[in-house]
């Protein structure tokens, strides 16, 4: 997913973040609709409410994080955004000792603000908004997977997200006439939407939301590495330390969040 994000950011000089995220979501929605041909009859109002909410969270999450990418290095933006999934993991664990991991993750975010030089407050706020939406995405993806067959719900949610962003994208559509932009948009749509979101939906049908959130713990580091390799976005030692704090907090939540298994005592032979 983060590799796709770096390709998307590489085009921000040619196309606005809003137009880029619209292109990504539109192309991914068209691909998913062609693959699934979702059934839309005989569904309850609740089914539609869930998929529309899922689409809204999907669209807002991607729009907000792309706005953050335009103002912050990808590694920093994803680190801040990851507070959303980490919160899901910790809330579902319901263990007081997990507050240690909350504090460590918070320390990582604070470290980002201690870096000498200027950091975009607006970029941070967009990343936090994306984090809230990421948490909602996890919950709603699981609910959608439970109510809709196959990838039908994801296809319709992606369509909702694309349609919702259309007015804003058309207002900032500079660069969308380039075939190169559309080609990269197709690649980004596959790498950052169709493949990962489909896998998310399938995975969340069989695992808990908290466990899924924990499995995303390497996203900040993956984002930073992808940005270094593709965009040459270097990070300072302090920024890498901040990312490490969030990743370690997630790993710690993984260990303390595991259920304890009690081995039954062996019965005494009579």
Instruction: Say whether 238 sits in a helix, a strand or coil.
Output: helix
Query: In the prediction, which pLDDT does 18 show?
Result: 94
Q: What is the mean pLDDT of each run of 10 residues along the chain (270 residues)?
A: 78 90 95 90 87 95 95 86 80 71 75 68 94 92 87 93 94 85 91 85 76 66 74 77 79 58 40
Of 3, 20, 1, the residue nearest 180 (C-alpha):
20
Whether pTM > 0.85 for this model: the answer is no
Query: In the prediction, which pLDDT does 193 show?
Result: 86
Separation of alpha carbons 76 and 151, rounded Å:
31
CB of 27 closer than 8 Å to CB of 187? no
Domain range list for the chain:
2-256
Query: In the prediction, which pLDDT does 213 show?
Result: 65
């Amino acid at each position: 997913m983060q590799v796709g994000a770096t390709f998307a950011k590489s085009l921000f000089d040619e196309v606005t973040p809003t137009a880029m995220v619209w292109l990504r979501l539109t192309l991914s929605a068209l691909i998913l609709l062609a693959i699934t041909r979702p059934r839309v009859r005989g569904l309850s109002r609740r089914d539609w409410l869930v998929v529309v909410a899922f689409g809204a969270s999907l669209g807002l999450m991607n729009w907000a994080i792309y706005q953050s990418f335009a103002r912050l290095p990808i590694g920093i933006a994803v680190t801040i955004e990851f507070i959303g999934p980490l919160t899901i993991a910790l809330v579902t664990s319901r263990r007081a000792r997990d507050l240690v991991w909350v504090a460590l993750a918070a320390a990582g975010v604070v470290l980002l603000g201690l870096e000498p030089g200027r950091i975009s407050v607006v970029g941070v706020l967009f990343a936090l908004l994306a984090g809230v939406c990421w948490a909602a995405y996890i919950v709603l993806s699981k609910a959608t997977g439970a109510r809709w067959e196959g990838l039908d719900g994801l296809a319709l949610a992606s369509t909702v997200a694309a349609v919702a962003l259309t007015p804003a994208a058309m207002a900032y559509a500079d660069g969308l006439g380039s075939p190169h932009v559309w080609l990269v948009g197709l690649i980004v749509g596959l790498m950052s939407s169709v493949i990962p979101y489909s896998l998310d939906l399938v995975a969340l049908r069989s695992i808990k939301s908290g466990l899924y959130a924990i499995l995303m713990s390497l996203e900040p580091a993956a984002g930073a590495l992808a940005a270094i390799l593709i965009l040459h976005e270097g990070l300072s030692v302090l920024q890498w330390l901040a990312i490490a704090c969030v990743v370690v907090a997630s790993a710690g939540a993984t260990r303390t969040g595991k259920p304890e298994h009690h081995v039954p005592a062996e019965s005494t032979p009579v």
